[in-house]
Amino acid sequence: MKQKDTHTPIISVVMPVHNAAAYVSQAIESILNQTFTDFEFIILDDYSTDDSLTIIKKWSKTDSRIKVISNTKKPGVSSAANQLHAAAQGMYIARMDADDISEPTRLEVQLLVFKKYPKTVAVGSQCTVIDENNATIGEKTFPTKPSDIKKMSGYLYPVQQPSVMFATKRIPSDFVWYDESLSSAEEHELLFKLMQFGDIRNTKESLLQYRLHATNTSKVHPKKDYSAILRARITGFTTYGVPLTAKAVVLNIVQFIFVSLLPEKALFSIFSLLRGMNRKETAYEK
């Protein structure tokens, strides 16, 4: 009789998947090739209608660290993320997206940041932007210091969500990760909540290849999403101590004017900047 594995991994890598058959193998392979190996890899297929689940199951047969969850209906992005976090057993939880690629040293480097700065609750990274064919089309540069990240959160999103690793020991056991009542801006609200429990940092290194392609850019709805982002920022200012700097006031007013006056089709480039998804530009100038 096969004994049950009672080993608790140091890291739980969690990855939601929805119709990502074209890219999911690259994402999985990039995690399995990490220099740090003590992790579980929880992959949730969120009711894909392409071959994603078949591909994931094939990979799970090659590595016992892969655990597969399959939804028989699509509950929504926040619900899927909460499922993954609830299933995670590790001391740290690393986010991953099914169309991105993690650099081989990602987990190792992020763990070193937590060890160097014990009060840290989350660590993201700089990012390389790639296209459908893995060609580099830009870079995304984020602040590294907690104080700069907190200031930036009042007018731009200061981390790349699929690059982030969380320290669960600094977060209450009853913590609600993602608000399932929100259809957008849930990552902004999460960031503000996490600031209560410790510092948020970004590594100086680029540890993620973030992919821009027709499918993910088509999901952006600038007017609707910006309204949700603005509400989240106001909560950040009033509830979570995000500094209401002159820069934040000016940039929020400018963003509001652009989003209000321009047609939605013309807003993607501007909205990309607001979300830190800018192409061939930096999200933060040092």
Whether residue 92 contacts residue 101, with contact meaning beta carbons closer than 8 Å, is answered with no
The secondary structure element, H or E, covering residue 45 is strand 39-46
Distance CA 34, CA 244 (A): 39
Q: Report yes or no on 205 lying in a domain.
A: yes
Query: Range of 254's domain?
Result: 11-274
Q: How many helices (H) and strands (E) does the chain have?
A: 10, 9
Q: Report yes or no on 131 lying in a domain.
A: yes
Q: Report yes or no on 283 lying in a domain.
A: no
Rounded mean pLDDT, 234-242: 95
Name the DSSP letter for residue 103.
-
Whether residue 185 contacts residue 232, with contact meaning beta carbons closer than 8 Å, is answered with yes
User: How many CA atoms within 13 Å lie on the side-chain side of 58?
Assistant: 9
H runs (alpha helix) in the chain = 24-32, 52-60, 77-87, 106-116, 146-152, 186-194, 214-217, 222-239, 246-261, 268-274
Rounded mean pLDDT, 202-208: 98
Output the pLDDT for position 218: 52
Distance CA 280, CA 130 (A): 10
pLDDT in tens, 179-190: 998 778 899 999
Output the pLDDT for position 184: 82
Pairing of strands 120-130, 199-211: parallel
Q: Report yes or no on 279 lying in a domain.
A: no
- Selection from 108, 118, 145 nearest residue 33 by Cα: 108
Please give the structure tokens belonging to residue 141.
Answer: 């540069």
- Selection from 156, 141, 240 nearest residue 197 by Cα: 240
Rounded mean pLDDT, 145-152: 97
CA–CA–CA angle 81, 284, 212 (5° rounding): 50
CATH of residue 130's domain is 3.90.550.10
Output the pLDDT for position 174: 93
Rounded mean pLDDT, 172-185: 89
Residue 275 has pLDDT above 70, yes or no: no
Please give the structure tokens belonging to residue 2.
Answer: 């096969």
Q: What is the SS3 string spanning 46-70?
A: ECCCCCHHHHHHHHHCCCCCEEEEE
- Quickly state the pLDDT bin for 262 (edges 50, 70, 90): confident
Output the pLDDT for position 13: 99
pLDDT in tens, 66-111: 999 999 887 788 999 999 999 999 999 999 999 999 999 999 999 9
Which 3 state secondary structure label does DSSP give 281? Answer: coil
Q: Report yes or no on 52 lying in a domain.
A: yes
Q: Report yes or no on 5 lying in a domain.
A: no
Q: Report yes or no on 284 lying in a domain.
A: no
Residue 154 has pLDDT above 90, yes or no: yes
Residue 169 has pLDDT above 80, yes or no: yes
Q: Report yes or no on 101 lying in a domain.
A: yes
Query: How many folded domains does the chain comprise?
Result: 1
